[in-house]
A and B are shown apart, each in its own frame.
Chain A
Amino acid sequence: DTAVSQTPKYLVTQMGNDKSIKCEQNLGHDTMYWYKQDSKKFLKIMFSYNNKELIINETVPNRFSPKSPDKAHLNLHINSLELGDSAVYFCASSLLGAGGNTEAFFGQGTRLTVV
């Protein structure tokens, strides 16, 4: 049973398209995150939702819109894709309500290539 699962694993699309990446966790966690890892391998947080409420929104173009229909899901929708959006996107989850000192679990990543 995969703890944090993302779909799709690979996504190749043309500039200007709109695409979504889905993420689900079955760990009972209350907080979910999206991270982006660029070609230089730097991992940077984009968004975080705690109990379906947005708690972190880093400086990300508003073409990126996260949506959390429930605590177990956090999807990432990207409008008008640009070449610079090509990266690996990681979903993660953790349990903040347990005192805050717990580990985050990451998905296997979605490699997005914009051509």
Chain B
Amino acid sequence: DAKTTQPPSMDCAEGRAANLPCNHSTISGNEYVYWYRQIHSQGPQYIIHGLKNNETNEMASLIITEDRKSSTLILPHATLRDTAVYYCIVRVSGSSNTGKLIFGQGTTLQVKP
């Protein structure tokens, strides 16, 4: 699975959009980009994933560049409850997929009032 690079920390004002970047320059054609977050003292929580098209769900939007070498997770209206560590993970799909998630250090997002 390809490696990802994220900034260690970011701040965001409550009510504003939080844009969390992720670099995955060695991503392969059959690898998906997944985002999880871990709120303090809780288990990781799935947010969103995508292959090459932009994706949106009730939690966030995922923008993947055309060359797929980077992506951005967007929380449109951040709240204090979105303060967490956000992990960008690249994972292979298909028959070789074991479901294994390789977590990096992630980005600690602090939402401030």
| Residues of chain A whose beta carbon lies under 8 Å from any beta carbon of chain B | 4, 31, 33, 35, 41-45, 48, 50, 55-56, 90, 92, 94, 96, 99-101, 103-109
> Which A residue's beta carbon lies closest to that of B38?
A43
Contact bitstring B36-59, A, C-beta under 8 A = 1, else 0: 001001111110010000000000
A108 CA / B93 CA spacing, docked (Å): 26
Inter-chain residue pair count (beta carbon < 8 A): 61
| Residues of chain B whose beta carbon lies under 8 Å from any beta carbon of chain A | 32, 34, 38, 41-46, 49, 85, 87, 93-95, 97-103, 105
Interface of B (DSSP majority class): loop
A13 CA / B32 CA spacing, docked (Å): 40
Within 8 Å CB of B43, what residues of A?
4, 90, 92, 106-109
* A100 CB to nearest B CB, Å: 4
> Which of B41, B46, B95, B102 contacts A103 (CB under 8 A)?
B46
> Which of B41, B94, B99 contacts A104 (CB under 8 A)?
B99
Known contacts A92-B43, A100-B94, A104-B46: does B32 contact A45 (CB below 8 Å)?
no
